[in-house]
Amino acid sequence: MSVASHNLSSPAQKPVLEAREVHRVFWVRVGLFRTQLPLRAVQGVSLRILPGEVVGLVGESGCGKTTLAEMFLGLQPPTRGEIHILGKPMSALPRRSVTRAVQPVFQDPYSSLNPRHTVGRIISLPLRVHGVGRRAQWEDQVLEMMDRVGLPRQLIRSLPGQLSGGQRQRVAIARALIMRPSVVICDEPTSALDVSVQAQILNLLMDLQEDFGLTYLLVSHNLAVVQHLATRVAVMYLGRIVEEAPAKTLFSQPAHPYTRALLSSVLTPEPSMGLPEIPVGAAFPNPLAPPDGCAFHPRCPRVEPICRREAPPVLKEGDHRLECHFPGPG
């Protein structure tokens, strides 16, 4: 494993959001006799998010990235381990303190907005819930935030159904930022939008990060979006982070076979290149019956006998971390 060293932040910086060996287990009934089996959605994940970072969390559907994001939001309690916000355990904080510090922007801007409430009422909801400021000031704060996210002021009395997809997502972003949170968790923030609108929303997110000094956790399966936005990337597979590195390092020098497979699956705009060949099996492993040893070994093109027997070691070099018996270029 040969990795260039990148210093993204000062060692003195403390994480604004941190997962410490968190697990999340769901119990699922299966079979004729409805036997309960554990589904280990997240298995021993540790992740530190420092101030001002944009951390991309990527992986196939079902890998556990959304469950991890929900734990960061306080929507799912860890079965084991701890989530820390600004250095304090989430479990010791009041719910309102958590929501003031961490806000979400969800995938589908229509289903995440109340269709019966006006734009102004939706954006002002956090102010009303937390009792911030005076009622007479709320509309001015909403209008100011609408200006910041590029929404025309005349839409303040409109309903979500009267807006375009891009406008609805701007409403969701405005609602997330009205309380000036420390961290915004973006769960596939552009996947439900037209391609023509996606770039506008991504550029808006970057502008807002600079304006408000935000920290982002970007959950996505779209590697092009992650490469454009992220300063650091964590790759999840079957509930574990199998590789984590600065974005430039991960995209130029991927060391885990799964990361290389993900990067090779990205479509290219060059017609002569055709469809990409993905060098792994198409079937995602059964999370109710995970394989022994390395979880990726049934799909790995470089599998060796030890991969089937033993869990891979954790390897670190500078800011690059991965779990693999045989890392390196494919």
Mean pLDDT over 1-28 rounds to 72
pLDDT value of residue 224:
86
pLDDT digits (tens, 9 = 90+) for 54-76: 999 999 888 999 999 999 999 99
Q: How much is the mean pLDDT over the chain? A: 88
Q: Rounded CA gap, 319 and 330, in Å?
A: 21
pLDDT value of residue 137:
87
pLDDT digits (tens, 9 = 90+) for 206-224: 999 999 999 999 999 888 8
Tell me which architecture the domain covering 17-269+281-323 has in CATH: 3-Layer(aba) Sandwich (3.40)
pLDDT value of residue 11:
47
pLDDT digits (tens, 9 = 90+) for 281-294: 556 678 888 899 99
pLDDT value of residue 330:
55
Longest pairwise C-alpha distance within the chain: 69
Asked whether 215 and 16 are in contact (CB, 8 A), the reply is yes
- Answer yes or no: is pLDDT of 266 > 70: no
Share above pLDDT 70 across residues of the chain, in percent, rounded to a whole number: 90
- Answer yes or no: is pLDDT of 92 > 50: yes
CA 86 to chain centre: 18
Q: Rounded CA gap, 148 and 212, in Å?
A: 10
Domain boundaries, the chain: 17-269+281-323
Asked whether 127 and 138 are in contact (CB, 8 A), the reply is yes
pLDDT digits (tens, 9 = 90+) for 108-166: 877 889 999 999 999 999 999 888 877 778 999 999 999 999 999 999 999 999 999 99
What SS3 class is residue 2? Answer: coil
pLDDT value of residue 31:
80
- Answer yes or no: is pLDDT of 278 > 80: no
Asked whether 248 and 6 are in contact (CB, 8 A), the reply is yes
Mean pLDDT over 7-18 rounds to 68
Q: What are the E-state strand segments in 96-213?
A: 102-105, 183-187
pLDDT digits (tens, 9 = 90+) for 163-210: 999 999 999 999 999 999 999 999 988 887 888 888 899 999 999 999
